[in-house]
């Protein structure tokens, strides 16, 4: 276990902010609050994408995987046509 030394002003700010006298407990409360806030922000952003595309990320990922296959397949077909054209020029 490591020791964290807080400046007096920081320790006082943690006490004032949380009402907790123990700095380690106050810091834990502040970290939890910060994480809760960040997670709420992420959820809002995720909902925004879900609304925009009308599906969850897992559904979108499945479609994207199919689209990647399409793009790769199309590239192969295009390359085949180009090579066949070049072959035709050479014969």
Give Dmax over CA atoms of the chain in angstroms. 88
**How many residues would you count in the chain?**
91
78's tokens: 């295009």
- Signed CA dihedral, 56, 64, 41, 24: sign only: positive
Q: What are the residue ranges spanned by the domains of the chain?
A: 1-54, 55-91
What distance in Å separates the CA atoms of residue 44 and residue 58, rounded to the nearest whole number?
Answer: 17
Question: What is this structure's pTM?
Answer: 0.66
Q: For the chain, first and last CA: distance in Å?
A: 76
Segment 9-37, tens digit of pLDDT: 999 999 999 999 999 999 999 999 999 99
Segment 41-87, tens digit of pLDDT: 999 999 999 999 999 999 998 888 888 888 998 999 999 999 999 99
């Amino acid at each position: 276990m490591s020791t964290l030394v807080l400046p007096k002003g920081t320790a006082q700010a943690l006490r004032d902010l949380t009402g907790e006298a123990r700095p380690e407990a106050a810091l834990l409360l502040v970290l939890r609050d910060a994480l809760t806030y960040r997670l709420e922000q992420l959820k809002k952003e995720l909902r925004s994408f879900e609304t925009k595309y009308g599906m969850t990320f897992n559904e979108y990922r499945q479609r994207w995987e199919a689209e990647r296959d399409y793009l790769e397949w199309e590239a192969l077909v295009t390359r085949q046509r180009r090579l066949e054209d070049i072959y035709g020029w050479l014969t």
